[in-house]
Amino acid sequence: MNNFVGLSKIGLVRQRNEDRFFIDGPICAVTDGMGGYSGGEIASTYAVDEIKEYLASLETVRQQDLCDAIIHANERIANRVAHEERLAGMGTTAVVTAVNGDQLYWASVGDSRLYVYRDGLLRQITTDHSMVQELLTAGEITKDEMLNHPQRNLLTRAVGVDDTLEVDSGVESILPGDRILLCTDGLCGYVSDDVIASALQSNNDDMKVVESLMETVYDVGAGDNVTIVVGTI
């Protein structure tokens, strides 16, 4: 398996980059912070640091371990918020993956996404915890309308906001040649799945995929921080 590669940029309208990511061999994570005076930056950084440290202590990483790592990060962030009033309201998304043989374990909270690309087909594996996802599920808007909806940035679930947290997770069977993509909504909130699939179809080099998608985001105005991680099995 090729190594994962990633890139994070501040975008054109933000004052600071509140996205974070880490790549540690077969384990990857992407976070997107929100809220408060520098709170989002703190929350997203805390999350990747705590998740990475938690998983690094394990000999083998499985699906439940990814959930436990996010819950651990949630506890640490919520504890800091409780002791620092200025950080009230801060939180972060988190999507974490681990490749083990022909299995891809994943866990997520918020609207950062995991995709798997195979044989020309891009599949969104995670489900957004967002207001627009609820509207989509209810049939009130289409997937294309999610990109421009005024409530597209409203999350229904985030790491660090509450003492208890429900984490989505799963396992995917993967094959040689599959492409794995993690991203914040700075990509998927502004660029359609068809455009993401086209970049993967056009580039066998993972870093070129990341750079191509980043260029596309900037072409449409880069309205948010954007983080993209890609790897090929």
116-153 per-residue burial string, b: 16 or more CB within 10 A, e: under 16: bbeeeebeebbebbbbbbebbeeeebeeeebbebeebe
- Dump pLDDT digits (tens) for 3-61: 899 999 998 887 789 999 999 999 999 999 987 546 788 899 999 999 999 999 999 99
Answer whether 119's CB lies under 8 Å from 187's CB: no
Q: Average pLDDT, whole number, for the chain?
A: 92
Count of structural domains within the chain:
1
Q: What is the pLDDT of residue 38?
A: 60
Q: What 3-state class would DSSP assign to 78?
A: helix
Which has the minimum average pLDDT: 41-50, 68-77, 82-91, 140-149? Answer: 140-149
173 pLDDT more than 70:
yes
- Dump pLDDT digits (tens) for 183-230: 999 999 999 999 999 999 999 999 999 999 999 999 999 889 999 999
27/163: higher pLDDT: 27
Q: What is the pLDDT of residue 3?
A: 87
State the angle between helix axes of 193-202 and 206-219 in degrees (0 to 180), rounded to the nearest 10.
140
Q: What is the pLDDT of residue 169?
A: 98
Residue 213, domain extent: 5-232
**How many Å is the Cα radius of gyration of the chain?**
16
Q: Phi-psi region for residue 228, left (φ > 0), alpha (ψ -120 to 50) or beta?
A: beta
Q: What is the pLDDT of residue 135?
A: 87
Please state the three-class secondary structure of 28-69 as a single string.
Answer: EEEEEEECCCCHHHHHHHHHHHHHHHHHHCCCCCCHHHHHHH
**How many Cα atoms are found within 13 Å in the side-chain-facing hemisphere of 34?**
22
Cα-based angle 127, 181, 124 (whole degrees, multiple of 5): 30
pTM as predicted: 0.94
Tokens of 132: 């627009």
CATH code for the domain of 206: 3.60.40.10
Q: What 3-state class would DSSP assign to 119?
A: coil
